């Protein structure tokens, strides 16, 4: 089972209303939640570890996981409120205003983290859950205690507005990168992590030297490039499609990559350390294909395996 560890929230998506001004419709979301949903729909055995509220939005999130065949046995339920993200779409690209204080997801503590059974063979971490304390420390502690014999993918998806203590965040992120087998970053993420005026390849090499076997760099419409610790480099182009919006695009790309690595029997530490350029190319291409379907739809609505 791939256990997706991180935030779940409600995306309030602007929706035309006959009664007057546009309203907002609640849609299940959150970077890690989207990845879990996409994996479940692709037919991969998947679970979700997150803090969920007992409120109406929390129930909506739970129902969304169940309907996409995601295991919910690792959910941590409380009566704190659900995180809300109000979405603004400009030319199809999303910006967000978050309401996250004292939320069920954010207020997780290290002692809340459950013991993981051998059924969990891979872990995925990412999103704002890596920046918002105290939950961020809880996820970091889980990674530190469980990464030794499990494959780990990390997508920091850095949002500077959430980072209150940059030095503390950098230290936590450095520890998590060192324990990860796959690190996926955007151009913006990479430049934030390493602001030094050196080449992109030099920055990637620094990331690889920190511990991962694979670094994946995404560049929006230009596609993605995978860099192996062996020195091999593989690039795939983004698929051309009619874009409705970009909500959840990177999250479902992650799911596509993980799904293909799992299908090929490579989603374990030894397999990732010895990953071939051919399988990497297939995995990146699968991620691009899944993401292309998602951006052709409104909101984070990943495809089912049959849609491919």
94: which strand partners?
89
We report the CATH number of the domain holding residue 251 as 3.40.1190.20
Residue 294's pLDDT band (cuts 50, 70, 90): confident
Does residue 20 register a pLDDT over 70? no
Side-chain-facing half-sphere of 120: CA atoms under 13 Å? 23
User: Can you tell me the distance from the alpha carbon of 230 to that of 213, in angstroms, rounded to the nearest whole number?
Assistant: 8
Q: So what's the pLDDT on residue 15?
A: 79
**257-274 confidence digits (pLDDT tens):** 999 999 999 999 999 999
Which residue, among 93, 99, 136, has the nearest Cα to 5 in the 3D structure?
136
Residues 6+ apart with CB under 8 A from 58: 52, 77, 82, 104
User: pLDDT tens for residues 29-79?
Assistant: 999 999 999 999 999 999 999 999 999 999 999 999 999 999 999 999 999
Phi-psi region of 157 (alpha: psi -120 to 50; beta: other; left: phi over 0): left
Q: Which domain holds residue 107?
A: 2-16+23-307
Q: Which residues pair with 154 in a beta bridge?
A: 125, 183
Report pTM.
0.93
Does residue 304 register a pLDDT over 80? yes
Total of domains in the chain:
1
Q: How far is CA 274 from CA 118, 259, 299, in A?
A: 23, 18, 36
Quick one: tokens of 90? 């400009």
Average pLDDT, stretch 227-246? 83
């Amino acid at each position: 089972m791939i256990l997706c560890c991180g935030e779940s929230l409600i995306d309030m998506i602007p929706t035309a209303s006959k009664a007057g001004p546009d309203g907002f419709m609640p849609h299940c979301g959150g970077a890690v939640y989207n990845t879990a949903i996409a994996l479940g729909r692709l037919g991969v055995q998947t679970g979700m570890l997150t803090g969920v509220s007992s409120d109406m939005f929390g129930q909506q999130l739970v129902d969304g996981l169940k309907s996409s065949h995601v295991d919910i046995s690792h959910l941590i339920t409380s009566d704190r409120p659900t995180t809300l993200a109000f979405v603004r779409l400009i030319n199809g690209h999303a910006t967000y205003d978050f309401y996250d204080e004292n939320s069920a997801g954010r207020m997780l503590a290290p002692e809340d983290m459950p013991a993981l059974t051998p059924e969990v063979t891979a872990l995925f971490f990412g999103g704002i859950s890596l920046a918002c304390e105290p939950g961020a420390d809880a996820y970091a502690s889980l990674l530190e205690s469980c990464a030794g014999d499990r494959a780990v993918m990390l997508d920091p998806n850095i949002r500077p507005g959430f980072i209150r203590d940059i030095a503390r965040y950098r230290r936590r992120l450095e520890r998590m990168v060192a324990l990860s087998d796959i690190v996926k970053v955007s151009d913006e993420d990479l430049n934030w992590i390493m602001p030094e005026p050196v080449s992109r390849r030099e920055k990637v090499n620094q990331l690889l030297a920190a511990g991962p076997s694979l670094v994946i760099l995404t560049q929006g419409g230009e596609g993605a490039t995978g860099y192996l610790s062996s020195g091999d480099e593989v690039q795939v182009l983004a698929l051309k499609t009619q874009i409705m919006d970009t909500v959840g695009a990177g999250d479902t790309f992650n799911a596509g990559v993980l799904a293909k690595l799992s299908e090929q029997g490579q989603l374990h530490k030894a397999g990732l350390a010895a990953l071939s350029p051919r399988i990497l190319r297939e995995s990146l291409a699968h991620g691009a294909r899944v993401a292309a379907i998602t951006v052709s739809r409104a909101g984070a609505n990943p495809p089912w395996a049959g849609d491919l």
